């Protein structure tokens, strides 16, 4: 009798483990149908693991689709930001142009959406799923994936600070000419007294002027500004 009980328990465990593995395999396969997730799995496996866990929660109907979209955008954006210093010139410029376009879309949105987009570590990431259409979301993720891919497969040495210092000084001087003392708010974005709408406008203006530099100079400055 005891022997058959053990066999039954073993069969139940095998069934549960098999069901878990099958569910996980199907969820991972669904994600990997999209090229961006294939890039993330290959070059940022830790990020992919977190995305898969969140996707499983979404598939179990324990959270909304929008929540998963916002989570994926935040995680992949973070991975792309960390990859920027070694990414290709073309991928860096394409992503930052897209980020600036997204920030401008979020500028009139409520809840400090533009500020949250540039400073998610201060106030949390914005509700991208709510404010940005699906096609634009997909395009942004593809550009992030290209930054991650190029940084991993064809890494460039980070630019020397001496190379970018003059361009950076010029951008800073122009910022003070346009915004005066308000430009100082950018250095204290976490201060509750900061005008978040103005910080958003200042940040947008800075990236606009960086993108007006010659492509190589703009890329080097953006890569130097990114956290390594």
Domain map (residue ranges) of the chain: 20-225
Give the Cα separation of 120 and 193 in Å (integer).
17
Split at pLDDT 50, 70, 90, the class of 200 is: very high
Count of CA atoms in the C-beta half-sphere (13 A) of 146: 16
Report, as an integer, the average pLDDT of 120-135: 90
Helices (H), the chain: 2-32, 35-43, 45-59, 65-83, 89-106, 113-118, 120-123, 128-131, 134-153, 161-179, 196-210, 215-225
| pLDDT at 85 > cutoff 60 | yes
Q: Is residue 174 exposed (0-12), middle (13-18) or buried (19+ Cβ within 10 Å)?
A: middle
Mean pLDDT of 98-113: 93
**What's residue 23's pLDDT?**
66
Of 9-18, 46-55, 59-68, 133-142, the range with the lowest mean pLDDT is 9-18
Report which of residues 80 and 8 the model is more confident about.
80
Rounded to an integer, the average pLDDT of 37-52 is 94
Taking 60 as the threshold, does the pLDDT of residue 163 lie above it? Answer: yes
- Closest Cα partner for 223 from 81, 39, 43? 81
Integer angstrom CA distances of residue 167 from 58, 93, 183, 219: 45, 16, 17, 11
Classify the C-alpha dihedral 17-18-21-23 as positive or negative: negative
Question: What is the predicted pLDDT for the residue at 9?
Answer: 43
Mean pLDDT of the chain: 87
Lowest mean pLDDT segment, chosen from 11-20, 71-80, 123-132: 11-20
- Greatest mean pLDDT among 27-41, 58-72, 142-156 lies in 142-156
For residue 58, the model assigns a pLDDT of 83
CA distance 96 to 151: 15
Per-residue tokens: 175: 């910022």
62 pLDDT band (50/70/90 cuts)? Answer: low
Distance CA 87, CA 101 (A): 20
């Amino acid at each position: 009798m005891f022997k058959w009980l053990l066999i039954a328990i073993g069969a139940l465990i095998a069934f549960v483990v098999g069901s878990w593995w099958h569910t996980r395999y199907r969820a991972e396969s669904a994600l990997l149908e999209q090229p961006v997730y294939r890039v993330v799995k290959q070059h940022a496996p830790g990020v992919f693991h977190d995305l898969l866990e969140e996707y499983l929660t979404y598939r179990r109907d324990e959270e909304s689709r929008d929540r998963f979209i916002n989570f994926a955008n935040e995680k992949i954006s973070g991975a792309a930001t960390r990859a920027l210093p070694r990414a290709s010139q073309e991928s860096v410029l394409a992503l930052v142009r897209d980020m600036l376009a997204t920030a401008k879309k979020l500028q009139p949105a409520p809840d400090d959406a533009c500020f949250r987009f540039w400073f998610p570590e201060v106030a949390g990431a914005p509700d991208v799923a709510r404010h940005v259409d699906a096609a634009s979301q997909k395009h942004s993720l593809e550009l992030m994936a290209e930054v991650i891919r190029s940084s991993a497969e064809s890494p460039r040495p980070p630019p020397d600070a001496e190379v970018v210092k003059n361009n950076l000084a010029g951008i800073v001087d122009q910022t003070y000419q346009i915004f005066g003392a308000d430009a100082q708010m950018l250095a204290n974005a976490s201060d509750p007294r900061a005008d978040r709408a103005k910080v958003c406008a200042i940040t947008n203006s800075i990236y606009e002027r960086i993108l007006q530099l010659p492509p190589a100079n703009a890329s080097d400055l953006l890569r130097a500004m990114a956290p390594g």
